[in-house]
Amino acid sequence: MDDVIGMNMKQLRLRVKLRTVDTASRIGVAESSVRNWEKGRTIPTLSIDKTAALCLLYQCSIAELDLAVRESIARADRDVDLELGEQIDIE
């Protein structure tokens, strides 16, 4: 499982060859929730059993899932910073 270090939520999903709709239906959430997690817009607020199901589905530990959530958020923050920087350069 140590090959998941540094991965974001989308990379975890793609590593196990799932679509967002597959993940959503298997853990019982909306597909938009999965997309929002991957884009770092929101964090998974799941019950213990759904968190466990997500870890099993993505073949990762809860610590690795936590790191992936943090990486997704950090990536979204970097994207926003880049957008803001580009807007400032234009003006």
Q: What is the domain-level CATH number for residue 65? A: 1.10.260.40
Q: Residue 1: pLDDT band by 50, 70, 90 thresholds?
A: very low
Full residue range of the structural domain in which residue 23 is found: 2-90
pLDDT value at residue 82: 56
> In whole angstroms, what is the distance from residue 57 CA to residue 59 CA?
5
Number of domains in the chain: 1
Judging by beta carbons within 10 Å of its beta carbon (0-12, 13-18, 19+), is residue 58 exposed, middle or buried? Answer: buried
Contact in structure between 55 and 65 (CB atoms under 8 Å): yes
> In whole angstroms, what is the distance from residue 54 CA to residue 46 CA?
9
pTM assigned to the model: 0.79
Contacts of 60 (CB under 8 A, 6+ apart): 1, 4, 12, 68
> In whole angstroms, what is the distance from residue 48 CA to residue 16 CA?
21
